[in-house]
């Protein structure tokens, strides 16, 4: 039995794998001080590695498609997957008796997963004699352009105030604060800005050769086809005047028909290498001549850490504005260049790539210590909770003696 406090970490990546990648980086840091058990609710890419210090419980995977939940396992219907997940989650909680329950994004997102999250919170606080510290792990910028934004924020505040003890915002407050994308006036739960959570990376030193190809990527790939196919077309336009090599990383979740279309587009095209996935995107970035990608949290942080000249085309479908906001803020720091998704064409992308070759990103001074600081904050909150419980027990004993 470990002497470290047990931390149960719920993570559900529903569209890409950015939430999972960040959660794994955070879990690895937390595992130095906590026994970390990660409930993984989405598809697990075969190439993705994680620390052996993390205990992983894989739930029947679900994801969102066209705004609806679907089962990713052909052995489970959606209803069967939901039932199996709920049973496994509640059983895990009862067996582990964690001192900390950490949810990734919820209640600020993942409303469609309340079929299992609300019973978990109910179990943790109502039917348990060992109510844990309940904390939300949150990225830097939230989507704030919903048609029902005010109603959404009222619901989030209600859930947070009822169930949650704290919110960890994984952002440098000098770059982005939670109150810039969420109205905090109705929120009574404590908010802690931790700095950015990043993997344990070796930062580039000295001059970089940058002899590698132009690296094109789109995270997990579910929503990257337009960018990837435009990049291959742009390469054909560019090589009419200058030789350039390009490596296109499709992503493990790119739908199979789209992968086949990319294979056809890249076939017989000298200078273009197309792969499904790579073991470590950061090491590819560190050697790349330039990067073309979307602007999710993890990709943006890896671009900045590697100091790679980068053009980002932020994902902006269906009212999603988080990536564009992040990209514009980083653009003002001269850390990267931005092309909006609505402006994306092969010809425009070729023009942007020509300009990108000579772009020299400016070093930023963002706080990347979020994983360590999150661990410290949780330790402090657990210690406070233990002290409060100890005082309560002492009062009850004295009352009984009297």
**Which whole number is the average pLDDT over 317-343?**
94
Pairing of strands 54-58, 35-40: parallel
For residue 394, the model assigns a pLDDT of 46
Residue 119 DSSP code: H
Alpha helices in 241-345 (DSSP H): 256-266, 281-287, 297-306, 322-332
Confidence band of 209 (pLDDT split at 50, 70, 90): low
3 state SS of 101: strand
The dihedral over CA atoms of 372, 378, 384, 389, expressed in degrees to the nearest 10, equals -150
391 Cβ contact list (under 8 Å, min separation 6): none
Q: In the numeric block, which tokens belong to residue 363?
A: 């070093």
240 Cβ contact list (under 8 Å, min separation 6): none
Nearest to 249 by CA among 202, 302, 191: 302
Res 392 pLDDT > 60: no
d(CA 223, CA 114) in angstroms, rounded, equals: 25
How much is the pLDDT for 399? 52
What is the helix (H) or strand (E) element at residue 214, kind and residue range? strand 214-217
All structural domains of the chain with their residue ranges:
6-198+368-401, 214-356
Give the residue-averaged pLDDT of 12-16: 85
Is residue 401 very low, low, confident or very high in pLDDT (cuts 50, 70, 90)?
low
pLDDT digits (tens, 9 = 90+) for 163-191: 999 999 999 999 999 999 999 999 999 99
What is the residue-averaged pLDDT of the chain? 91
pLDDT in tens, 284-317: 999 999 999 999 999 999 999 999 999 999 998 8
Identify the helix (H) or strand (E) that includes residue 341.
none
Query: pLDDT (tens digit, 9 = 90+) per residue, 117-144?
Result: 999 999 999 866 678 999 999 999 998 8
> What CATH topology corresponds to 214-356?
Rossmann fold (3.40.50)
Residue-wise burial string across 25-58, b where 16 or more C-beta atoms lie within 10 A, e elsewhere? bbbbbbbebbbbbbbbbbbbbeeeebeeebbebe
Most confident of 91-105, 268-282, 388-402: 91-105
Between 3.30.310.50, 3.40.50.11380, 3.40.50.170, 3.40.50.12280, what CATH number should domain 6-198+368-401 receive?
Answer: 3.40.50.11380
pLDDT score of 395 more than 50: no
pLDDT in tens, 74-116: 999 999 999 999 999 999 999 999 999 999 999 999 999 999 9
The 8-class DSSP code of residue 388 comes to: H
pTM: 0.91
In this prediction, residue 1 carries a pLDDT of 42
- Could you tell me the pLDDT band of residue 208, with boundaries at 50, 70 and 90? low
Instruction: Compute the average pLDDT of residues 215-240.
Output: 93
How confident is the model over 59-68, as a mean pLDDT? 91
Q: What is the pLDDT of residues 29-55, one digit of tens each?
A: 999 999 999 999 999 887 777 788 999
Q: Is the pLDDT score of 365 beyond 60?
A: yes
Same fold, 6-198+368-401 and 214-356: yes
Percent of the chain with pLDDT over 70: 93
How far CA 265 is from CA of 214, 225, 231, 234, in Å, comes to 17, 12, 10, 11
């Amino acid at each position: 039995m470990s002497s470290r406090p047990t931390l149960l970490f719920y993570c559900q990546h529903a569209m890409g794998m950015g939430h999972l990648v960040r959660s794994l980086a955070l879990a690895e840091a937390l595992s130095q001080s906590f026994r970390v058990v990660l409930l993984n609710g989405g598809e697990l890419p075969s190439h993705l590695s994680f620390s052996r210090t993390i205990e992983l419980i894989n739930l029947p995977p679900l994801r969102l498609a066209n705004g609806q939940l679907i089962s990713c396992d052909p052995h489970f219907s959606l209803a069967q997957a939901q039932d199996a997940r709920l049973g496994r989650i509640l059983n895990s909680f009862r067996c582990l008796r964690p001192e900390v329950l950490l949810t990734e994004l919820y209640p600020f997102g993942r409303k469609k997963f309340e079929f299992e999250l609300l019973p978990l919170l109910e179990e943790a606080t109502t039917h348990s004699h060992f109510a844990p510290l309940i904390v939300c792990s949150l990225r830097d910028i939230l989507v704030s352009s919903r048609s029902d934004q005010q109603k959404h924020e009222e619901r989030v505040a209600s859930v947070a105030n009822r169930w949650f003890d704290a919110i960890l915002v994984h952002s440098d407050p000098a770059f982005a604060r939670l109150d810039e994308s969420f109205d905090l006036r109705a929120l009574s739960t404590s908010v802690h800005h931790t700095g950015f959570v990043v993997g344990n990376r070796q930062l580039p030193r000295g001059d970089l050769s940058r002899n590698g190809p132009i690296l094109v990527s789109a995270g997990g790939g579910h929503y990257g086809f337009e960018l990837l196919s435009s990049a291959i077309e742009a390469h054909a336009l560019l090589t009419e005047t200058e030789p350039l090599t390009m490596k296109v990383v499709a992503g493990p979740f790119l739908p199979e028909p789209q992968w086949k279309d990319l294979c056809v587009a890249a076939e017989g095209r000298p200078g273009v290498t197309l792969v499904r996935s790579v073991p470590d995107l950061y090491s590819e970035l560190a050697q790349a001549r330039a990067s073309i990608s979307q602007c999710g949290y993890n990709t943006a942080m890896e671009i900045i850490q590697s100091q790679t000249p980068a053009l980002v085309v932020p994902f902006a479908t269906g009212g999603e504005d988080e990536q564009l906001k992040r990209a514009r803020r980083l653009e003002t720091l001269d850390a990267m260049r931005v092309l909006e998704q609505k402006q994306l064409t092969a010809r425009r992308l070729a023009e942007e790539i020509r300009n990108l070759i000579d772009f020299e990103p400016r070093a930023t001074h963002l706080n990347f210590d979020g994983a360590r600081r999150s661990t410290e904050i949780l330790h402090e909150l657990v210690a406070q909770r233990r002290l409060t419980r100890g005082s309560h027990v002492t009062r009850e004993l004295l009352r009984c003696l009297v």
